[in-house]
Amino acid sequence: MDGLEAGLIDYYNIPRLCKECRGVMIFKGVGEYQCESCGYVDYDDYGKVRLYIEKHKGATAAEIEMVTGVSQRAIRRMLRESRIEIAEGSKTFLHCEVCNKDIRSGRFCNECEIKLHRNVEAAQREELRKKVKIMGVGRRGEEGQRRFIREEQ
């Protein structure tokens, strides 16, 4: 296992070995893992938080931390990653990193996210335009299309 994989396991508290029989835990989806030997089911931090939120809509981060043992810092990280979102009707919000507008999950509001993507797209177009120019297309005084026309025999 390389350093990145080990970091992710620690970052999300992913269960690797079964607590019951020490067998290998297999990922089943949405934060759930099952032992391949005895069938014991366990959850990573995301799975614990998600299960709790499904049963207790509108729970606060402090309440979730107290019951699940997942830190509020990890819960905020999940909110920023848009893995979970703040319940509708809540008085608590995250704030867009660009315009400071109230949002329920992620890092940006819809408007700023669209602007961000459009800026990235424009930068990609400009980069492509530069590469095309370097390859000789669009140079003055040259008829590039002539290079590709076959003379009839």
Q: Are strands 41-43 and 94-95 parallel, antiparallel or unpaired?
A: unpaired
Compute the average pLDDT of residues 73-101: 90
Mean pLDDT of the chain: 85
> Cβ of 18: how many Cβ atoms within 10 Å?
21
> Which has the higher per-residue pLDDT, 106 or 10?
106
Compute the average pLDDT of residues 137-141: 54
DSSP SS3 for 73: helix
Indicate whether this model's pTM tops 0.75: no
42-59 residue pLDDT tens: 999 999 999 999 999 888
Determine the Cα angle at 124 with ends 134 and 108, to 5°: 160
